A and B are shown apart, each in its own frame.
Chain A
Amino acid sequence: MYEAVIGLEVHVQLSTNSKIFSGSSTAFGAEPNTQASLIDLGMPGVLPVPNAKVFEMAIKFGLAIDAKIEQESIFDRKNYFYPDLPKGYQISQFEKPIVGPGRVTIMLDNGTTKTINITRAHLEEDAGKSVHDVFDGMTGIDLNRAGTPLLEIVSEPELRSAKEAVAYLKVIHSIIRYLDISDGNMAEGSMRCDCNVSIQPKGSDVLGTRTEIKNVNSFRFVEKAIDTEIHRQIEILEDGGRVVQETRLYDPDKDETRPMRSKEEANDYRYFPDPDLLPVVLDSSFIEACNASLPELPATRRARYIAEYGITEYDAGVLVADRDLADYFAEVANISGEGKLAANWVMGSVLAELNQTSKSIIEFPVSAKQLSDLVSRIKDNTLNSKTAKTVFDALLTSDGEVDTIIEQEGLVQMTDTSAIETIVDEVISENSTQATNYRAAPADKRPKMLGFFVGQVMKKSQGKANPQAVNQILASKLAD
Chain B
Amino acid sequence: MSLTSDHVKRVAKLARLGLTDAETAEILAQLNSILNLVDQMQQIDTKNVMPLAHPLELKQTLRADAVTEMDQREKFQNTAPQVNAGLYLVPRVVE
List residues of A whose CB falls within 8 A of some B CB: 16-18, 22-25, 31-38, 41, 49-55, 74, 79, 81-83, 96, 130-132, 135, 137-143, 261-262, 266, 268, 270, 273, 275, 277-281
Across the interface, do B93 and A279 meet the contact criterion of CB distance under 8 Å?
no
Instruction: Please tell me the size bucket of the interface on B.
Output: 35 or more
* Residues 68-94 of chain B, each 1 if its beta carbon lies under 8 Å from chain A, else 0: 110111001100001011111111111
Across the interface, do A141 and B87 meet the contact criterion of CB distance under 8 Å?
yes
**In chain B, what residue has the closest Cβ to A130?**
B93
List residues of B whose CB falls within 8 A of some A CB: 13-14, 16, 53-54, 56, 58-69, 71-73, 76-77, 82, 84-95
A16 to B77, CA, bound (A): 26
Q: What 5 A-B pairs have minimum CB-CB distances, sorted nearest first? A: A23-B68, A140-B87, A53-B65, A32-B86, A278-B60
Do most interface residues of chain B lie in helix, strand or loop, or is the interface mixed? loop
- Report the minimum CB–CB distance from A58 to chain B (whole Å): 12
Partner of B14, one of A79, A83, A139: A79
| Neighbouring A residues of B93 by C-beta, 8 Å | 82-83, 130, 132, 139, 262
| Neighbouring B residues of A131 by C-beta, 8 Å | 87
| Neighbouring B residues of A262 by C-beta, 8 Å | 93-94
Across the interface, do A51 and B65 meet the contact criterion of CB distance under 8 Å?
yes
A81 to B59, CA, bound (A): 30
- Report the minimum CB–CB distance from B93 to chain A (whole Å): 5
**In chain B, what residue has the closest Cβ to A283?**
B59
Q: Do A139 and B73 contact each other (CB < 8 Å), given the known contacts A23-B68, A33-B86?
A: no
Across the interface, do A280 and B62 meet the contact criterion of CB distance under 8 Å?
yes
Sample 6 A-B pairs with CB under 8 A, ordered by A number.
A51-B62, A138-B90, A138-B92, A141-B89, A268-B14, A279-B60
Across the interface, do B85 and A36 meet the contact criterion of CB distance under 8 Å?
no
Across the interface, do A36 and B92 meet the contact criterion of CB distance under 8 Å?
no
**In chain B, what residue has the closest Cβ to A53?**
B65
A38 to B77, CA, bound (A): 11
A140 to B84, CA, bound (A): 8
Across the interface, do A135 and B84 meet the contact criterion of CB distance under 8 Å?
yes
Across the interface, do B65 and A132 meet the contact criterion of CB distance under 8 Å?
no
Partner of B54, one of A33, A49, A279: A279
| Neighbouring A residues of B94 by C-beta, 8 Å | 132, 139, 261-262
A55 to B64, CA, bound (A): 11
Q: Do A139 and B68 contact each other (CB < 8 Å), given the known contacts A275-B54, A279-B60, A281-B60?
A: no
| Neighbouring A residues of B92 by C-beta, 8 Å | 132, 137-139
Across the interface, do A135 and B89 meet the contact criterion of CB distance under 8 Å?
yes
Across the interface, do A36 and B76 meet the contact criterion of CB distance under 8 Å?
yes
| Neighbouring B residues of A18 by C-beta, 8 Å | 65-69
- Report the minimum CB–CB distance from A59 to chain B (whole Å): 13
| Neighbouring B residues of A41 by C-beta, 8 Å | 76
| Neighbouring A residues of B13 by C-beta, 8 Å | 266
| Neighbouring A residues of B77 by C-beta, 8 Å | 33
Across the interface, do A34 and B63 meet the contact criterion of CB distance under 8 Å?
no
A7 to B89, CA, bound (A): 36
Partner of A50, one of B62, B71, B85: B62
| Neighbouring A residues of B85 by C-beta, 8 Å | 32, 140
A278 to B58, CA, bound (A): 7
| Neighbouring B residues of A83 by C-beta, 8 Å | 88, 90, 93
Across the interface, do A51 and B89 meet the contact criterion of CB distance under 8 Å?
no
A49 to B66, CA, bound (A): 12
Q: Do A273 and B54 contact each other (CB < 8 Å), given the known contacts A50-B62, A280-B60?
A: yes
Across the interface, do B53 and A273 meet the contact criterion of CB distance under 8 Å?
yes
Q: Do A50 and B60 contact each other (CB < 8 Å), given the known contacts A18-B67, A33-B86, A74-B53?
A: yes
Q: Do A33 and B84 contact each other (CB < 8 Å), given the known contacts A24-B67, A83-B90, A262-B93?
A: no
- Report the minimum CB–CB distance from A16 to chain B (whole Å): 5
A277 to B63, CA, bound (A): 13
Partner of B67, one of A17, A38, A50: A17
- Report the minimum CB–CB distance from B44 to chain A (whole Å): 20
| Neighbouring B residues of A81 by C-beta, 8 Å | 16
A17 to B84, CA, bound (A): 28
| Neighbouring B residues of A74 by C-beta, 8 Å | 53
